[in-house]
Structure 1
Amino acid sequence: MKKLLLIDGNSMLFRAYYATAYTNRMSTSSGIPTNAVFGFIVMMQKAMQIIQPDAVLVAWDAGKPTFRHKEYEAYKGTRKELDEDLIAQMPLVREYLDAIHVTRYEQEGFEADDIIGSAAKGSADMDTTILTSDRDLLQLIDPTTKVLLMKKGLSEMDLMDEKALREAYDLSPAQIIDFKGLMGDPSDNIPGVKGVGEKTALKLLHQFGSVEGVYEHLDEVKGKMKEKLENGKEMAFLSKELATIYTQMDLPFSLADLTVEAHSAADFYQKYEMRSLMSEEKPQPARQYEVETVASLDAIPFADPDSLLFFAVASDEP
């Protein structure tokens, strides 16, 4: 089975930026910030080494508004303005992807999650891995789709499949949506049910299975929690809808267009003075060997096993 790597561009660039902005700020001699791009490249290269994909796609958010904003105007409304240094690096990372001939895609009205979801569900005949730091994408896990989840810094990654998800949360992939429906998601300003946190949401799902199941069995919930759920019913169903990744986009490329080929980024590294990455691209010089012909094995002196001196034994036999 061929392998497909889907990369959540916004998520990875943001993680790369905030993991390095205050500890390892990088810039060119002319002042162009490059720390986020550098971190993005490092994470992408590590994922490529782990997965060894045959095809790669990097998905990006196209900005507001999306169909979710039409459903809930305050969606993602609490997010702060982006740092200027991060904004400045967005075109640079796209330049890098173009340099190595990796397909990137964004579409107005949709988010990167929707592009990834549509690509994943449209490639059931491939072994698909999603690289992200966004747990929302765990809902896309299925028998042919895993999530390589960034956890800390630029190097700590967990490969999440159905078994790992069950061990971590005791939830199925589909229940990730119900989880967000009940407890909400402050990062996206998804409201959830007021007063329901992670532990309560998990308890309710373990007992009733889904948001729908909770409200079908509301009479079995006692005390203040029943009142909170009654008051938050509309928000629970709206939040579940907002958290659901759309997987039916008509993407304007085929999987054949995503095929990975070896392309050098040396010119990009040189342009933005990424010397450590540039040195990795340079081919290593061929090792030079010295050969000496001797008459017999007895004539070979003791030598260090790492020595580059090789001996050829002369023979009259063909």
Structure 2
Amino acid sequence: MEKPHLLIVDGMALLFRSFFASAAMKQYIRLDDGTPTNGVQGFARHVLTAQNLMKPTHVAVCWDMGMHTFRNDLFEGYKANRPAPPEEMLPQFDMAKDVSEIIGWKNFGISGLEADDLIGSMIEKWKGDANITVISGDRDLLQLLNPATTLAFTKKGYMEYDTYTEQRFREEYGITPKQFAEVKAFMGDASDGYPGVKGIGPKTALQLIQTYHSIDGVLAALDELKPAQRMKINENVEMLKLSHQLATINCDAAIEAELNELVMPTFNETVVAQLENRGLRLITRHARSLGL
């Protein structure tokens, strides 16, 4: 019997991507009352296209629930340098979740966790029961790859993805997916606001893990490193370990659902009516163009 195919959507990643792609051209697609909907309509169209392209049997949409997470408790500077969302985007966060519910996609979000943590926890929960595809733009998720999981990174428009399997990752990086968080710990992440080891970039970070397999392995072999590398690491050991905590996706979150609750919904006339009553006609037109 063929396994179910679960599509996990990084909702916030698609919402932001859709918003900025159209906001750059001032295309906010406002409702009659002036509320912008460009991010929401782009998000829904993106997922509908993926549904048509990838033919999943089940779907889940994961969301961040506010800016503060357990990582901010670990490190005050975590994501502190990110600008606030544009004013036109603010009403679209709740609207996107509402649209997801109308269409029948089940939303997931837990206060204090990021969407990445929910995605990781879903993969951990269902990797033995389903083939899983994750849609996102966040390469931090590479650490979640396993034989049952494929990552589809947004690339261009609604149709093009840069797709990673565990095999492709191992061939390109020469490490296991779980070791990717240790690479991130050394190189840091400017977008997320943690420095890693200052002076060690992506290439050196990867080489260190390829050679010594882990942070502990590197620390145990410091005498083998070049003096400059040894000094940089010695000066930043605590930040290195903290950066590893920040880079590691939590896969232990409680997912309060069973797989059979995530069956792909039918885009029927009731859904069409609800969306069009809210002025979201671009979504329904797009669904019809896909034959849904």
Report whether the alignment pairs 1:214 with 2:202.
Answer: no
1:70 is aligned to 73
1:80 is aligned to 83
1:313 is aligned to none
Distance 1:171 1:138, change over 3 A: same
Q: CA deviation at 1:279?
A: 3.2
1:184 is aligned to 188
Q: Secondary structure at the match of 1:230?
A: helix
Report whether the alignment pairs 1:27 with 2:29.
Answer: yes
Distance 1:278 1:67, change over 3 A: closer
1:11 is aligned to 13
Q: Larger relative contact order (C-alpha < 8 A, sep ≥ 6)?
A: 2
Q: Secondary structure at the match of 2:111?
A: coil
Q: Secondary structure at the match of 1:14?
A: helix
Q: CA deviation at 1:275?
A: 4.2
Conserved in 2, the CA contact under 8 Å of 1:195 and 1:228? yes
1:300 is aligned to none
TM-align CA RMSD: 2.0
CA distance in 1 between counterparts of 2:250 and 2:15 reads 22
Q: Secondary structure at the match of 1:188?
A: coil
2:230 is aligned to 226
Q: CA deviation at 1:272?
A: 4.9
Question: What percent of counterpart residues are identical?
Answer: 35
Match of 1:138 among 138, 142, 153: 142
Q: Whose helix proportion is higher, 1 or 2? A: 2
Distance 1:206 1:280, change over 3 A: closer
1:236 is aligned to 240
Conserved in 2, the CA contact under 8 Å of 1:269 and 1:278? yes
Aligned positions, number? 284
- Partner amino acid for 1:220? E
User: Which consecutive unaligned segments of at least 5 residues does structure 2 have?
Assistant: none
1:267 is aligned to 273
Conserved in 2, the CA contact under 8 Å of 1:138 and 1:173? yes
Over residues 112-148 of structure 1, what are the superposed CA-to-partner deviations in whole Å (9 max), with x where a residue is unaligned? Answer: 1111111111002210111110011111100111111
CA distance in 2 between counterparts of 1:130 and 1:280 reads 22
Match of 1:165 among 169, 182, 187: 169
Distance 1:223 1:88, change over 3 A: same
Over residues 266-307 of structure 1, what are the superposed CA-to-partner deviations in whole Å (9 max), with x where a residue is unaligned? Answer: 2344245444443355599xxxxxxxxxxxxxxxxxxxxxxx
Over residues 207-250 of structure 1, what are the superposed CA-to-partner deviations in whole Å (9 max), with x where a residue is unaligned? Answer: 22222221111111012111101111111111111111111112
Report whether the alignment pairs 1:278 with 2:284.
Answer: yes
CA distance in 2 between counterparts of 1:195 and 1:268 reads 54
- Partner amino acid for 1:259? V
Structure 2 length as normaliser, TM-score?
Answer: 0.90
CA distance in 1 between counterparts of 2:236 and 2:199 reads 9
Over residues 37-59 of structure 1, what are the superposed CA-to-partner deviations in whole Å (9 max), with x where a residue is unaligned? Answer: 12212221222123211211111
- Partner amino acid for 2:13? S
Conserved in 1, the CA contact under 8 Å of 2:44 and 2:283? no
User: Which consecutive unaligned segments of at least 5 residues does structure 1 have?
Assistant: 285-318
Q: Secondary structure at the match of 1:150?
A: strand
Equivalence map 1:124-135=2 (5 Å): 124-135=128-139
1:48 is aligned to 51
Conserved in 2, the CA contact under 8 Å of 1:15 and 1:153? no
